[in-house]
Amino acid sequence: AVDVLQSLCLSWEKAEQERLKQREAEVSRALDEKDLELSQERHRRAEADRRALQLESRRDDEMRSLMNELLGARERIEVWRKRTDEKERELTKEAHRRQEAERQVTWLQQRSQMHENAVRENALLKQQLHDAKAAAAAARAAAAAAA
């Protein structure tokens, strides 16, 4: 009876050890699977973080590029405004010079007209003087011949 009990205890201990080994193997497999899942999740997260950093870096680069373009455009606009203002001032000065030149041309045309009138009047007066001298000389000659 003791032998049977001992053999029963031994077989129960062996069965228990076998069941414990199987349970440890299952737990070990489950742990390995969980470790693998954890490793994969860590890898996915690291990959996602890397992609997020790349996207953020790309966005920052694009923002810097756009800001540089914006600053360049502002500088070009400022240069264009200055040129436009300068051209407008030049056009205004040129318009004033043209108006002054037109006034001078008008004044010179009036002076030229007055000069031409004076020359014509002078020529007419010279002719009248010449005719009057000739008439006076003829009258003197006729008076001397009559006397």
pTM of the model: 0.45
**Is residue 147 scored above 80 in pLDDT?**
no
Q: pLDDT per residue over 11-66, tens digit each? A: 899 999 999 999 999 999 999 999 999 999 999 999 999 999 999 999 999 999 99
C-alpha span between 125 and 144 (Å, rounded): 28
Length of the chain counted residue by residue: 147
DSSP 126: H
C-alpha span between 145 and 137 (Å, rounded): 12
C-alpha span between 68 and 137 (Å, rounded): 100
Residue 25's Cβ-count burial label (10 Å; 0-12, 13-18, 19+) is exposed
What does the block give as tokens for 120? 């014509």
DSSP 28: H
